Amino acid sequence: MGDAVIIVGAGQAGLTVAEALRADGWQDEIVIYGAEKHAPYHRPPLSKGYLLGDTPAAQLTIRGPDLFDKKRIEFCAGRPVRAIDPTSLRIELDDGSRRAYCSLVLATGSRPRELAVEGARLDRVVSLRTLEDSATIGTQLQKAENVVVIGGGFIGLEVAAAARKKGCSVIVLEAMDRLLARVASPAISDFFARLHSDHGARIIFNAKVSRLVGEAGVVRTVETADGQSFPADLVVVGVGAVANDELARHAGLACDRGVVVDDCSRSSDPSIFAAGDCTARRLADGALSRLESVQNAVEQAKSAAAALTGRERPFRAAPWFWSDQHGVKLQMAGSSANADQAALRGSLADKNFSLFYLRSGKLIGVDTINRPGDHMLARKLLDHGLSPTIEEVSDEHFDLKSLLATGVPA
């Protein structure tokens, strides 16, 4: 057995595990293998500032180049791990070489779900995960007239907003009857449908894409099952992501649409941990969920590092997320799913409001639009199990911060 912690995947989660291990006092070797040729970088700007040309590539890198030397972290870029042998505690690299670990952390992220229709591999049909994908889409947006976005989720909508800003004609084809259906309340879905329509995008609901048709290998039209056809010189597919959990599955680890981990990021193998988009974990409501967010990657990574250094740091904080579209900042904390009451603070017309969601009188989620103060407060309320009443939320004069001072759990 080696004395190295080996981390597979050099994204947000992989880097955070390494840094947290050093911060927690780990003295032995730390090795990160990353399939990409880049140092770990921020993905959120890929559909926001970087895509729009507002954020330079240099600002995407999560830490400066001297971090690895300073923290004695061996970083191997462009080195995909191709197998794990949990019996001999070794990994196998792309060139067949092997390396021993004492503990392994899987931080392999996720990849875009493929569109399973004819024509999905034509030229100018793209999805967005990597720096290269974003650079390609950015270049193509300069030339494209008609952009079709398949999928009205966060990535699709952020790209739609960028495409409108670049002057393209934009159609969003959404298979469900509302945008963001998997993650947001109907009120938030409606707000974003109006926002995108007001900025000139055409949104078509219940649109089941049946095939993509090309000429000389390049996409020209998108067809839907109801016989409609939409001209396109760029198609962006944003129909969700799947976990990169193949290494874990082949090694016999418990997986269920992601590597199954507990609150301390332990997998079903005592020597293997996992963090970030590649994992599935039981949340407070008991459901096994795969979260794709920076918060989830960072917190699971810190929990893994703590467990590796012999401490318990369970990740139980309420999930949070953000999205930027057309100058509007959405921040979500907790979840609105299963709410039986909702109350509004602020003004939809002014694009400045918060929606508080309760179930059986207990606060379970808060979505805010351009109200970062409410978002931070909501996270504290959720993490402390504190609930305002629906009347208190609805009354703008009621100071929700006062609930923190009392600290009385609801």
Q: Which of 30, 46, 260, 330 contacts ligand FAD by CB under 6 A?
A: 46
Binding characters for ligand FAD, 323-352, by CB under 6 A (x = yes): x-----------------------------
The strand pair at 229-231 and 30-33 is best described as unpaired
Q: Cα separation of 146 and 151, whole Å?
A: 16
Q: How many CA atoms lie within 13 A of 82 on its CB side?
A: 9
Least separation in angstroms between CB 373 and ligand FAD: 19
Largest Cα–Cα distance of the chain, in whole Å?
A: 68
H helices of 53-130, in order, are 67-70
# chain residues binding ligand FAD, by CB under 6 A: 35
Least separation in angstroms between CB 46 and ligand FAD: 4
Nearer to ligand FAD, 223 or 299 (CB): 299
Residue found under tokens 């100058």: 327
CB 34 within 8 A of CB 94: no
Q: Which of 7, 11, 122, 334 contacts ligand FAD by CB under 6 A?
A: 11
Span of 18-26, 40-48, 61-69, 138-146 interacting with ligand FAD by CB under 6 A:
40-48
Span of 10-18, 52-60, 136-144, 280-288 interacting with ligand FAD by CB under 6 A:
10-18
Q: Cα separation of 79 and 36, whole Å?
A: 8
Closest CA to 34 of 7, 56, 58: 7
Q: Cα separation of 237 and 127, whole Å?
A: 5
CA 218 from chain center: how many Å? Answer: 30
Q: Cα separation of 269 and 253, whole Å?
A: 6
Least separation in angstroms between CB 129 and ligand FAD: 5
Least separation in angstroms between CB 401 and ligand FAD: 25
**Residues 149-188 interacting with ligand FAD (rule: CB under 6 A):** 155
Q: Which of 2, 80, 138, 214 contacts ligand FAD by CB under 6 A?
A: 80
Nearer to ligand FAD, 223 or 367 (CB): 367
Closest CA to 295 of 330, 328, 322, 262: 322
Binding characters for ligand FAD, 250-289, by CB under 6 A (x = yes): --------------------------xx------------
Span of 7-15, 65-73, 179-187, 373-381 interacting with ligand FAD by CB under 6 A:
7-15
Classify residue 87 by burial, with Cβ atoms within 10 Å: 0-12, 13-18, 19+: exposed
Token duo for residue 345: 């603070």
CB 230 within 8 A of CB 208: no
Q: How many CB atoms lie within 10 A of CB 325?
A: 21
Nearer to ligand FAD, 291 or 363 (CB): 291
**Residues 122-141 interacting with ligand FAD (rule: CB under 6 A):** 128-129
Token duo for residue 78: 């462009």
**Residues 356-395 interacting with ligand FAD (rule: CB under 6 A):** none
**Residues 284-323 interacting with ligand FAD (rule: CB under 6 A):** 292-295, 297, 321-323
Q: Which of 34, 119, 156, 388 contacts ligand FAD by CB under 6 A?
A: 34
Which stretch of DSSP H or E encloses residue 281? strand 279-282
Q: Which of 5, 20, 36, 342 contacts ligand FAD by CB under 6 A?
A: 36
Least separation in angstroms between CB 159 and ligand FAD: 8
The letter for the amino acid at 30 is I
CA 73 from chain center: how many Å? Answer: 26
Nearer to ligand FAD, 223 or 292 (CB): 292
Q: Cα separation of 289 and 392, whole Å?
A: 31
Least separation in angstroms between CB 358 and ligand FAD: 24
Residue found under tokens 């690299």: 93
Q: Cα separation of 33 and 15, whole Å?
A: 10
Least separation in angstroms between CB 285 and ligand FAD: 20
Task: Tell me: does residue 13 bind ligand FAD (CB under 6 A).
Answer: yes
Q: Which residues bind ligand FAD (CB under 6 A)?
A: 8-14, 33-36, 43-44, 46-47, 80-81, 107-109, 128-129, 155, 244, 247, 276-277, 292-295, 297, 321-323
